[in-house]
Amino acid sequence: MGQSVEIKDVWKSFGGFDAVRSATVKIQAGEFLSLLGPSGSGKSTLLMMVAGFLQPTSGKILIGDEDVTAVPANRRGIGMVFQKYALFPHMTVFENIAFPLKMRKLRRSEIESRVGQALDLVKLRDLGSRLPIQLSGGQQQRVAVARALVFEPPVLLMDEPLGALDKKLREEMQFEIKNLQQSLGVTMVYVTHDQEEALTMSDRVAVMNHGEMQQIADPKTLYREPGSPFVADFVGKMNLIEVTYVDQTASGALLKTAGGNRFSIQNLAVSTPDPERPMKIAARPETIALSRRNETSGTLLEGTIHQCVFMGSMTMVQVIVGPEDEVVYVQTEADASYKPGEVAYLEFDGSRTSLFAHGPDEN
């Protein structure tokens, strides 16, 4: 059912402001790609250009083998689900879903058949006669999805469709949308600012910031091997610590924090060691081991326990490091017994720690 979508060096400028800059990505037929980024990163603007509601300043957009850059939105055959659903309040659920089929002048019998199938697909068969106002937020979202899918589009675009739902319902709908996408084989382009949502649902994620695509990768690669400090910091919980390289010793790369604390990390790859160049190490809370004594042959980073937050399956520990009171987050077992004020030592897993050059031109 799905078709590929190719975005080739697309720019969108409003006056002197570049909302999207040189966006390039090939989305395979049947793939689920999320555009992830903070507010103002250009993700919704890019989606609107794929939909045809905005025209690129330059660049091309292809659906399948067809260049649709100048094709109006109503002739692209794309399904669209908006953030606020955009349901017609005076129409019933059935009439809302039937609307795109009536616009295509299908026979009444086929409209009834397709709407029935769409209602079954989103588990709303018994609610066809209700008005949108009589539905919950989750049910309205299902109607919007059914309306977008009923005419069997090859590409479905979604612009933060779960933002208005509570956490539990949002998580349930994430799996339902992903299951629908996989069962139908439709190509999905999904806009969100929620990192967990993007990682849960996507085959690949394109992280955007200031109109640019910072990194495009599958969720595991994005989480484990971020391509820049921005991606590392934006996707999931990440510790970013400014350091300078000191030396390579038997116990690993010897580093120094901005406050002067020295520590080593085994198995940390330092491609171009330069003692004068400031760098940042990026480490997830779950990749740092916490101990009360320095029992290794290397030099561990010393800190002071600031706070322990119980989070059910684990405890998040805040550790203050150095005279500048830098906070490092460490994930420990749920029953960890650390107390505020205790001295503790941090051991970094070099194989799961990223190192970035850091200067005036880096993010």
Distance CA 180, CA 219 (A): 19
pLDDT at 114: 93
pLDDT at 74 exceeding the cut of 70: yes
At residue 216 the predicted structure's pLDDT band, cuts being 50, 70 and 90, is very high
Smallest CA-to-CA distance from 234 within 332, 346, 363 is with 363
Give the CA radius of gyration of the chain.
Answer: 25
Of all residues in the chain, the percent with pLDDT exceeding 90 is 65
Exposure pattern of 145-168 as b/e (b: 16+ CB <10 Å)? bbbbbbbebbbbbbbbbbeebeee
pLDDT at 363 exceeding the cut of 80: no
| pLDDT tens track for 80-100 | 998 777 899 999 999 999 999
What is the arithmetic mean of pLDDT over 296-306? 84
Amino acid at 307: Q
| pLDDT tens track for 149-203 | 999 899 999 998 887 778 888 888 888 889 889 988 999 999 999 999 999 999 9
Q: Angle at Cα 363 formed by Cα 195 and Cα 249, nearest 5°?
A: 100
pLDDT at 253 exceeding the cut of 90: no
Q: What is the CATH number of domain 239-357?
A: 2.40.50.140
Pick the CATH number of 5-234 from 3.40.50.1220, 3.40.50.150, 3.40.50.300, 2.40.37.10: 3.40.50.300
The answer to whether 318 touches 306, Cβ cutoff 8 Å, is yes
pLDDT at 358: 64
pLDDT at 291 exceeding the cut of 50: yes
Counting every residue written for the chain, the total comes to 363
- Residue ranges, CATH 3.40.50.300, the chain: 5-234
Distance CA 348, CA 6 (A): 40
- Residue ranges, CATH 2.40.50.140, the chain: 239-357
Distance CA 340, CA 198 (A): 35
pLDDT at 271 exceeding the cut of 80: no
Q: Angle at Cα 288 formed by Cα 231 and Cα 198, nearest 5°?
A: 30
Distance CA 349, CA 284 (A): 10
Smallest CA-to-CA distance from 192 within 233, 234, 244 is with 234
CB atoms within 10 A of CB 56: 22
